[in-house]
Amino acid sequence: MSIHIIDDEVIFAELVSEMLELEGYTTTTFSSAEAYLEHMRTPDYLAPQIVISDVIMPGMSGLELIKEIRNSLPAVKIIAISGFHDHLITATDVDAALAKPFDFEQLHQIVASLHPSPCNATA
């Protein structure tokens, strides 16, 4: 199963990616909403099963990105993450929200509940 992670904190995104890959998920990271939208427009873009997006990022916000993803890919599951709890409350059209810092087990439980079989799913 494929998970796309969008967060301007590159080290954090890479850490989340590594942890999810240890659980059998395939991940790709992006450092901005704009970079992700640009990737979505490429001919080789394959929609993931889950998108994890930070809410507060420079430039285009994660909230704006979530709206774009939801309009283009309504079946994709979306997890909003943020260090600012108040901003998570405003995250609509998401399947789950998680406040930073979070325990990796919390994220893994949410991912597993949204798509339970990482090793048996196709990207």
Q: What is the CATH number of the domain that holds 12?
A: 3.40.50.2300
Which tens digit of pLDDT belongs to each residue from 35-49?
999 999 999 999 999
Which tens digit of pLDDT belongs to each residue from 31-82?
999 999 999 999 999 999 999 999 999 999 999 999 999 999 999 999 999 8
**Entry pTM:** 0.89
Q: Name every residue whose Cβ is closer than 8 Å to that of residue 29 and which is 6 or more positions away in sequence.
A: 4, 5, 6, 7, 10, 13, 14, 16, 17
Q: Domain for residue 120, yes or no?
A: no
pLDDT of 116 reads 64
Number of folded domains that form the chain = 1
Q: Domain for residue 123, yes or no?
A: no
Q: What is residue 119's DSSP assignment?
A: T
Range of the domain at 67: 2-114
Q: Domain for residue 121, yes or no?
A: no
